[in-house]
């Protein structure tokens, strides 16, 4: 098991373009999370899945953001009509779910720059 994998590592896009990121979690983890982190700040929750079901989505997330986890395996995060304010590190994490104090395993993130 190679941990949580995120692709691409870096993405530079022009304002107004759509971008899609991929996250491959640890295979036996049934929960998957997306966070956004700007420089020098703590990660900000975006959404999370249990298997293929999206259980919660941040109210801070505009309609331009959508996430999927088909078949409960990998997940994609799409941002439509990107804006400069979308520039950030997008972190994916996964965890098992046993109803206890499970910690997340994070990926290395995808750094998005909108120019």
Partner 1 sequence: AQTVTQSQPEMSVQEAETVTLSCTYDTSESDYYLFWYKQPPSRQMILVIRQEAYKQQNATENRFSVNFQKAAKSFSLKISDSQLGDAAMYFCAYRKSNTGKLIFGQGTTLQVKP
Binding interface with partner 1 (CB under 8 A): 31, 33, 40-45, 48, 50, 55-56, 91, 93, 95, 97, 99-101, 103-109
Distance CA 43, CA 70 (A): 24
C-beta of 96: minimal distance to partner 1 in Å? 11
Cβ closest to partner 1, residue 46 vs residue 82:
46
C-beta closer to partner 1: residue 8 or 97: 97
- Is the Cβ of residue 43 or residue 86 nearer to partner 1 in the bound state? 43
Taking alpha carbons only, the member of 108, 91, 86 closest to residue 2 is 108
Closest C-alpha to 50, from 33, 66, 35, 31: 31
CB of 24 to partner 1, least distance (A): 14
50 vs 87 by CB, closer to partner 1: 50
Which residues make Cβ contacts (< 8 Å) with residue 8, sequence separation at least 6?
Answer: 21, 110
Q: How far is the CB of 76 from partner 1 (least distance, A)?
A: 18
Judging by DSSP bridges, how do beta strands 88-95 and 65-68 pair with one another? Answer: unpaired
Place of tokens 């950030």: 88
């Amino acid at each position: 098991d190679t941990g949580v994998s995120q692709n691409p590592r870096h993405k530079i896009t022009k304002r107004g373009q759509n971008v899609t990121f991929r996250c491959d979690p640890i295979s036996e983890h049934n929960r998957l999370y997306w966070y956004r982190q700007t420089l020098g700040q703590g990660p900000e929750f975006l959404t999370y899945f249990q298997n293929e079901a999206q259980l919660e989505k941040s109210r801070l997330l505009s309609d331009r953001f959508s996430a999927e986890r088909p078949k409960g395996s990998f997940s994609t995060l799409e941002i439509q009509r990107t804006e400069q304010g979308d520039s950030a590190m997008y972190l994916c994490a996964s965890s098992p779910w046993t109803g206890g104090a499970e910690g997340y395993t994070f990926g290395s993130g995808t750094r998005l720059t909108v120019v």
